[in-house]
Structure 1
Amino acid sequence: MSVDLHRWRRDESRPSAGEAWRDAAARVLGPSVALFAVIVGVGWLIMGPFGGLQDEIAVNEELQEGRSFTPFWNVTTDIWSRLGNTEIIIGTCAVISLIILWRTRQWWYAVIPAIAISIQATVFVIAAWIVGRERPDVEKLDPAPPTSSYPSGHVGASTALYLTFALMAQRIERRWLRRLVTAVCILVPVLVSYARLYRGMHHLTDVLLGVVNGVVCALLAWHWLRRRRS
């Protein structure tokens, strides 16, 4: 899927309710079912033919061994990990979306982050329940959520949310500010990913598929409504 960074500025026409529902079903709900099938399929391969990828634990064990020598990172990664917490993701999405709505008066544009995290969360929760992968057998620095380890919900949510913010940031006129905001938005999911590994909450493949989930959901949300090219 190619990313048209200017599609929302080129066509700012208000969609009807029928157009919005039609496009959401065809361009978000349908593809998200395919995304769900892929993530569950990969999860079944990991838990089945690949035998749970037992060698992955070496990554978590190596990170665990370094904790006693770098207590600073125990605190730092706690902050990074919290950026992917459900309440933080929803709160940040709500605040930024309301600001965008206030600035643009375009609800169909302001809902993009909400669409991204909603689809991501739906795919993640059902896939985690179906696959049911145990978390790494190392000391965990965070309380384990009720969902299973695969895929990472923290990583998926932060990727989906902040990638949509990065796409929206391309409207910023000042080049230095646009680049700064874009860089920060891309950096946040990277920090969350490292923190979840460091704190023993996920296997490496849990994080990687969380990234895939978040990226695809962000792109689906970005293209959720048809826009004229001319």
Structure 2
Amino acid sequence: MTRSTLPIWRRIEFTVLLAALTVGGGIWGFVELLEVARDKTAHSFDTRILLAFRTPGDPSDPIGPGWVEEAMRDLTALGSTAILLFIVVTVLLYLLLDGKRRAALFILLAVAGGQVLSSFLKLGVERPRPDLVSHMAEVYTLSFPSGHAMLSAVTYLTLGSLMAHILQRRTLKIYVLSVAVIATLLVGISRVYLGVHWPTDVLAGWCAGTAWAMLCWLIAHGLQSSRARPLD
């Protein structure tokens, strides 16, 4: 029996199926969290977690010593526009110097498209920032979804998944993806710790950003499987 005559569920690669399920799960999760964000009263899930990061009885004092608060400010900067732009430009220049112009173009379009999507989604829900605790960082926009969480997921996970697609060694693939996931998680956690986002804002950002990153990976995989091999 040739591959073309196999049942469709046997022809689909496990990684492709997993990526497709991740896209669907991310979209579903975002839609569910969207309903929570539209509620005028804070969800108990949000308030419990937000207060868990503060000293009992003093919502203005984050838990842990002073250096933890400073570390969280440093970590949250990993999701700032300036840092993400620097990382993307650095990767693009590396790919261009390595002769991978098509890969550079694809990554540019993928990350830029994700940032446009993030801006569009943020305009859809006018959810105010948490007023339950004091803010440990300056904020200027609406709360849902977390721009830092989504843009870090879009950037780190898109770069990580596409770079892993290019790399040959399995250990390097795992390393790159692990760094991307850890960076995304740390940025989101820092936003809740600093009191500038409800936890559901961050979860929504992760859902949307992960769905976008996996969608880009699926597109890259489909193109790479063709004879054109555009990521070389």
TM-score, length basis structure 1: 0.73
Where in structure 2 are the equivalents of 1:174-193 lying within 5 Å?
A: 176-193=171-188
Pick from 137, 145, 149 the counterpart of residue 155 of structure 1: 149
Pick from 191, 201, 209 the counterpart of residue 206 of structure 1: 201
How far does residue 222 in structure 1 lie from its aligned partner after superposition? 2.4
Amino acid at match of 1:155: A
Amino acid at match of 1:87: A
Pick from 208, 218, 223 the counterpart of residue 223 of structure 1: 218
Where in structure 2 are the equivalents of 1:1-230 lying within 5 Å?
A: 3-4=15-16, 39=30, 42-48=33-39, 51-65=41-55, 67=62, 69-107=64-102, 109-137=103-131, 138-145=133-140, 147-167=141-161, 168-173=163-168, 176-224=171-219, 226-227=222-223, 228=225
Q: Please, which moves more after superposition, 155-164 or 179-188?
A: 179-188
Give 5+ residue unaligned stretches, structure 1. Answer: 5-30
> Is the 8 Å Cα contact of residues 84 and 157 (structure 1) preserved in structure 2?
yes
RMSD of aligned residue pairs (Cα, Å): 3.0
How far does residue 183 in structure 1 lie from its aligned partner after superposition? 2.0
Q: Determine the C-alpha separation between the residues in 2 that align with 1:128 and 1:173.
A: 37
Q: Determine the C-alpha separation between the residues in 2 that align with 1:52 and 1:115.
A: 36
Give 5+ residue unaligned stretches, structure 2. Answer: 1-11, 17-22, 56-60, 228-232
SS at match of 2:128: coil
> Is the 8 Å Cα contact of residues 80 and 192 (structure 1) preserved in structure 2?
yes
Distance 1:176-1:39 versus aligned 2 partners, 3 A rule: closer
Q: What fraction of aligned residue pairs are identical, expressed as a percent?
A: 24
Distance 1:153-1:207 versus aligned 2 partners, 3 A rule: same
> Is the 8 Å Cα contact of residues 151 and 210 (structure 1) preserved in structure 2?
yes
Q: Determine the C-alpha separation between the residues in 2 that align with 1:123 and 1:174.
A: 32
How far does residue 156 in structure 1 lie from its aligned partner after superposition? 0.8
How far does residue 219 in structure 1 lie from its aligned partner after superposition? 1.8
> Is the 8 Å Cα contact of residues 84 and 155 (structure 1) preserved in structure 2?
yes
> Is the 8 Å Cα contact of residues 37 and 144 (structure 2) preserved in structure 1?
no
Distance 1:112-1:182 versus aligned 2 partners, 3 A rule: same
Q: Determine the C-alpha separation between the residues in 2 that align with 1:111 and 1:151.
A: 27
SS at match of 2:54: helix
Q: Determine the C-alpha separation between the residues in 2 that align with 1:175 and 1:130.
A: 40
Aligned length: 198
Distance 1:112-1:79 versus aligned 2 partners, 3 A rule: farther
> Is the 8 Å Cα contact of residues 29 and 207 (structure 2) preserved in structure 1?
no
Q: Please, which moves more after superposition, 123-132 or 73-82?
A: 123-132
Which structure's CA Rg is the greater one?
A: 2
